[in-house]
Amino acid sequence: MLEILGYGDRHSLRPGDRLQVKVSCEAGAPRFHAEVVRMICGDDSPAGPGYKDQPIASPANGGYPARKQPLDTGSAVLVPASPLFDRLQSFTLTALVWPTTPGRKPQTLLARWSEPARAGFRLGLDATGALALDIGDGKGGFAAIKADRPMRERAWYRVTARFDAGTGLVRLSQQPLAHLARDDSGSEVEAILRIRPQAPADTPFTMAAHVTGRRGAKVLLGGHYNGKIEAPRLAARVLQDGEIETLRAAIPPALAKDVAAAWDFSRETPTTRVVDLSANRLDGETVNLPTRAMKGAAWNGEAMRWMDKPEHYGAIHFHDDDLYDAGWETDFEVPITADMRSGVYAVKLSCGERYEQLAFVTFFVLPPKGKTTAPVAFLAANATYMAYANSHHGWDDVLAEICYGALLEFGPTERTLNARRELGVSTYDVHTDGSGSCHSSRLRPILNTRPRYSLWNFGADLHIIDWLEGTGQAYDVITDEMLHQEGLSLLQNYRCVVTGTHPEYHSLAQMRAVEAYLAQGGRLIYTGGNGFYWRIAWHPTLPGVIEMRRAENGTRTWIAEPGEYHLSFTGELSGLWRNNGIPPQQLVGIGFGSEGFDESSWYRRQPGSFDPRVSFIFEGIGKDETIGDFGAVGGGAAGLELDIVDPRQGTPPHALVLACSELHSNVYVITPEELISTYPGIDGIEDPKVRADMVFFETPNGGAVFSTGSIAWAGSLGHNRYNNNVARITGNVLKRFIDPTPL
Amino acid sequence: MYEIDPDRLDLAREFRDKPFGRHSGELQRVINRMRAGSNAGRLVLVTLERHKRWGLGRMGAQPGDPIAPVPGYEFTSYEEAEWAVFKLRWQALTGRELALD
């Protein structure tokens, strides 16, 4: 297990900025050491170029006292304490709920409950999945009442607790909304209680969790619920069933004086605010970004977009492993000085000599705003790094081994992520209740965006950095996140932009910026595969978090529910860019076609490579030369995820197919969006579409695109100390793309 | 459900000679059968020394369960590990020990 964890407050910095670094030593080390390095190559495998960094003289370098920092995982809603809650005597508490893990553990739905004082009221599910109400007076008095049967998983229920302070009568009701034959999961129970709920005055009202204590000003929560809640209501008297039903969408005037709060989750969906419709304005805030824009009990398919019929999207889906901002204390800051030239950096954190005692906080230094310091920009795919942050799908998914074509391997990082689910999930994972994870944040320790780990995404992209450094090519580093924020202005002064190996996730602003850059004569080298694939949104106001929905089709590790394809952050349709008007083939000539992970292959030149328009690309390359039959990733330049041309998806008619890969294995299979139906013969042996296409085409105003169509390409750049035909082809393209002469 | 023919030692030899990459269609069926199914008890590699030594482990019944070590195995290459696991799975699925010349 890893013994030191850390993260920074930002990925993207410029000279003059300061990176706040947050560290936790997990195994009792008294001190840790920090060293700022410029990253050259993260590949410490025997087949690779070797790990390389350059120490940076930084005032942040040195020893620091260690501590263990907490991870408070699980989403909820907090409504600040109010005297209105204190004045409650009799009450009705009701909501629509759709539990996803009833019977797994006790879970809290709606509460004003202090666990340390065992005081207040808490409506939830007991260990069997039955509705349960706890009441405590804070003086040792405690009562519990439970429904006599569990609720069904993923079924809507009206749950209600009614308490008459005058008589002590409490009535509990769980009623399924669906009218199914032989469904006996409804339950009504009642009891007379002698005690009255009385929570400490500073106790907030909570949803999907309850208060377990405080750490400084922070309210700590426990008893997290998995599932949806919709339309929670709190009334200051016992309501009748008919009255409760009238509260489903609004507050009738006749009940206005009695309704303490009626929260409408369909309001202000993109935000963290939870709106109370009552005159009391007991608005709340979500904690750890539960998933909003979720279908409610009334959804019937009339609307597929939450903006079109908000009343059908009044649910929030809570998860006990949601985590947005770990909120760790800062241990030290790294000033970004003017002499830290643009590049990929990391803070090496160590609390000992072993692999488990070493962590990397990675970050990217951009040139000063509005300036370039090199003709080439490397576009670090930090949206993709975030989408995969702390992913578990590589072993949780039962298809992992059969897709990888190799045994799963558990090193210290995998063992830590497997055991410590409180580190949160990636957009590849399902939550503990099996629902897809729509969000991923960088404001938490991220264990898989680091050197000396896998040759995937960040680790693989460093092969390109290594090649740029090794060949003496000056370059700047920019990021997806800043491209989203600054648009075309971030690209327009570069002669050439080089992507990473797997630039998979993009917002509309990112895509539009790349489109505009190419339209004005920019040059793009896409040295990867499966690029420009999924549509995401960055949160409009919250830093460092993306949202995506695995909609419609595509190679997916989970599937969004019908009607939940639109992003809560922006209302945009998520899913594939192919389905969103900007297919990757239109942007870079090729789009995702197949994947496999056991062994990489090579390319053969195609007739297009002999066109005089591209003679510069093949300078020094033999007519029959096999391209890339070597490399650190699977032993070849064509591997992992492969892209192909498709004129019907937008490959420009003048695009030249320069080379194609061949002879991929049985493990490589066509991606689902390419299949009109299921049929045999779609693997690398039988289907000719299992290949990578290398393409070139000119764009207006003298620009051009060169795409390799393979994630493994960059793993071959460093072979034989950059003296190989993959490096030569890439270098030929880069040299010409830097030349301002129009293409 | 595809059943592995324990007499098809030619397929075992093919895997032993080349555990990764292109395989015959029949061997791929054998491999698919071995790799399919639940994660509970799935044999996995446990890194003992990065890029150098690996042991064998089994996944638990639930996500997040620790990997239980399988004693008696240590590998110095992925190929060696794949072959060892192939033999274990062959025996588990056919009831017959896999012994090649």
| Residue A519 identity (one-letter amino acid) | A
Tokens linked to B30 = 């054998």
B35 touches chain A (CB under 8 A): yes
Q: What is the pLDDT of residue A249?
A: 83
* Shortest Cα–Cα distance, A53 to chain B (Å): 19
Residue B45 falls within a domain, yes or no?
yes
Is residue A593 classed as helix, strand or coil in its secondary structure? strand
Only one residue has tokens 């192909």, namely: A644
Residue B32 falls within a domain, yes or no?
yes
Which of B21, B50, B81 faces A407 most closely, judged by CB atoms?
A: B81
Residue B46 falls within a domain, yes or no?
yes
Which of B25, B46, B82 faces A410 most closely, judged by CB atoms?
A: B46
Instruction: Tell whether the model's pLDDT for residue A233 goes beyond 80.
Output: yes
Contacts of B85 in chain A (CB under 8 A): 407
| Cross-chain Cβ contact B63/A418 below 8 Å | yes
pLDDT-derived band at A513 (thresholds 50, 70, 90) equals very high
Is residue A300 classed as helix, strand or coil in its secondary structure? coil
| Cross-chain Cβ contact A44/B38 below 8 Å | no
B46 touches chain A (CB under 8 A): yes
Decide if A69 contacts A24 (C-beta within 8 A): yes
Instruction: Tell whether the model's pLDDT for residue A371 goes beyond 80.
Output: yes
∠B43-B46-B47 over CA atoms, to 5°?
155
Instruction: Average the pLDDT over A8-36 and give the result.
Output: 98
B60 touches chain A (CB under 8 A): no
Q: What is the ipTM of this complex?
A: 0.99
| Three-class SS of A327-356 | CCCCCEEEECCCCCCCEEEEEEEECCCCHH
Instruction: Tell whether the model's pLDDT for residue A381 goes beyond 80.
Output: yes
Residue of B nearest to A412 (CA): B47
> CB contacts < 8 Å between A and B, how many?
80
Instruction: Average the pLDDT over A330-359 and give the result.
Output: 98
A419 touches chain B (CB under 8 A): yes
| Cross-chain Cβ contact A599/B28 below 8 Å | no
Residue B100 falls within a domain, yes or no?
no
B61 touches chain A (CB under 8 A): no
Q: What is the pLDDT of residue B101?
A: 74
- Its pTM stands at 0.97
| Residue A105 identity (one-letter amino acid) | K
pLDDT-derived band at A242 (thresholds 50, 70, 90) equals very high
Residue-number span of the structural domain to which B54 is assigned: 9-94
| Residue A589 identity (one-letter amino acid) | G
Decide if A603 contacts A657 (C-beta within 8 A): no
* A344 to A37, A445, A585: CA distances (angstroms): 9, 18, 29
Instruction: Average the pLDDT over A167-190 and give the result.
Output: 97
pLDDT-derived band at A346 (thresholds 50, 70, 90) equals very high
* Shortest Cα–Cα distance, B93 to chain A (Å): 17
Residue B20 falls within a domain, yes or no?
yes
% of chain A with per-residue pLDDT over 90: 99
pLDDT-derived band at A114 (thresholds 50, 70, 90) equals very high
Which of A407, A665, A684 faces B44 most closely, judged by CB atoms?
A: A407
Residue of A nearest to B37 (CA): A398
B82 touches chain A (CB under 8 A): yes
For A69-107, what is each residue's pLDDT tens digit?
A: 999 999 999 999 999 999 999 999 999 999 999 999 999
Domains observed in chain A: 4-71+332-360 (2.60.40), 76-318 (2.60.120.200), 368-738 (3.40.50.880)
Instruction: Tell whether the model's pLDDT for residue A428 goes beyond 80.
Output: yes
A676 touches chain B (CB under 8 A): no
Residue B1 falls within a domain, yes or no?
no
Residue B75 falls within a domain, yes or no?
yes
Q: What is the pLDDT of residue A332?
A: 98
Residue B4 falls within a domain, yes or no?
no
Q: Which of A392, A404, A408 to mutate to probe the B interface, most B CBs <10 Å?
A: A408
For A538-569, what is each residue's pLDDT tens digit?
A: 999 999 999 999 999 999 999 999 999 999 99
Report DSSP state, residue A357. Answer: G
Cα A541 to chain centroid, rounded: 16
| Cross-chain Cβ contact A395/B44 below 8 Å | yes
Backbone angles phi, psi at A218, to 5 degrees: -80, 130
Tokens linked to A677 = 């139906």
Which of B23, B45, B59 faces A409 most closely, judged by CB atoms?
A: B45
For A455-474, what is each residue's pLDDT tens digit?
A: 999 999 999 999 999 999 99
Instruction: Average the pLDDT over B8-37 and give the result.
Output: 97
* Total domain count, chain B: 1
pLDDT-derived band at B53 (thresholds 50, 70, 90) equals very high
Decide if A316 contacts A39 (C-beta within 8 A): no
% of chain A with per-residue pLDDT over 70: 100
A662 touches chain B (CB under 8 A): no
| Cross-chain Cβ contact B43/A666 below 8 Å | no
Q: How far apart are CA A595 and CA A687, in angstroms?
A: 12
Residues in chain A: 743
Instruction: Output the average pLDDT for chain A.
Output: 97
